[in-house]
């Protein structure tokens, strides 16, 4: 009971800024939490604090419903999620995991989509509110490492994202659903795509 109260107080604090973690349920299978809002650069610290409170033998099911946000925040969440064998990420059916939130979704050793959920990826680009001197190169280099860890054919995955952006503009999304991958532009389904993904070549015990 004390642990549950402590976790609840953490969620109240978390909700005051950026992306929010909220406790939805505690049952025999573990803790069910939800991540919503805009991804912030340091949301990984919230996730770490939360995971440190929960016994490592207890599963934590994290449903992600977020439009994304800070690209580097998504990468930080990815590497934090990767550390916890008891963390399961699930793309939510209410909104899904998009952009930086999609990178977070990839980080769990067990990531899932459910009927009605979507995970959206797009090519890196600098928008009007990006910091001065924005350069996508450093982000792409970090993303290459993530794609390698996840077992994607990195060159083809990035090439696909870049081709889609060049052809359809920044509103082109590579969408993962419970049934496969597809191309969506401005919310309109275009076609299915074949995205090869093999077994994860790097596991926690090899890092």
Torsion sign over Cα 74, 79, 82, 83: negative
Asked if CATH classification 3.90.226 holds for the domain at 2-206, the reply, yes or no, is yes
Helix ranges restricted to H, the chain: 2-14, 43-53, 71-82, 100-106, 136-150, 154-168
With tokens 């969620």, the residue in question is 11
Supply 41's token pair. 């650069």
CB 91 within 8 A of CB 117: yes
130-185 residue pLDDT tens: 666 677 777 777 788 788 777 777 677 888 888 888 888 888 999 998 888 899 99
Q: Where are the domains of the chain?
A: 2-206
In whole angstroms, what is the distance from residue 122 CA to residue 168 CA? 11
Closest CA to 47 of 30, 62, 37: 62
DSSP β-bridge partners for residue 172: 185
- In order along its 207 residues, the chain shows pLDDT tens digits of 444 444 445 544 444 457 889 988 888 889 999 999 999 989 999 999 999 999 989 999 999 999 999 888 999 999 999 999 999 999 999 999 999 999 999 999 888 998 999 999 988 777 665 666 677 777 777 788 788 777 777 677 888 888 888 888 888 999 998 888 899 998 888 888 877 665 444 333 332
């Amino acid at each position: 009971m004390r642990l549950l109260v402590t976790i609840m107080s953490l969620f109240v604090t978390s909700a005051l800024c950026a992306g929010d973690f909220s406790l939805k349920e505690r049952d025999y299978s573990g803790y069910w939490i939800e991540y919503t809002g805009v991804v912030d650069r340091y949301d990984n610290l919230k996730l770490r604090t939360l995971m440190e409170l929960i016994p490592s033998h207890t599963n934590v099911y994290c449903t992600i419903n977020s439009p994304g946000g800070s690209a580097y925040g998504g990468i930080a969440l990815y590497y934090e999620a990767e550390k916890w064998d008891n963390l399961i990420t699930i793309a939510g059916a209410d909104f899904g995991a998009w952009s930086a939130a999609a990178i977070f979704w990839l980080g769990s050793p067990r990531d899932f989509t459910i009927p009605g959920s979507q995970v959206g990826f797009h090519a890196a680009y600098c928008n009007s509110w990006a910091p001065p001197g924005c350069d996508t190169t450093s982000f792409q280099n970090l993303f290459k490492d993530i794609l390698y860890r996840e077992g994607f054919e990195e060159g083809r995955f990035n090439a696909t994202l870049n081709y889609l952006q060049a052809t359809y503009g920044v509103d082109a999304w590579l969408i993962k659903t419970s049934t496969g991958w597809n191309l969506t532009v401005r919310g309109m389904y275009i076609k299915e795509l074949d995205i090869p993904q093999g077994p994860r070549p790097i596991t926690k015990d090899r890092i």
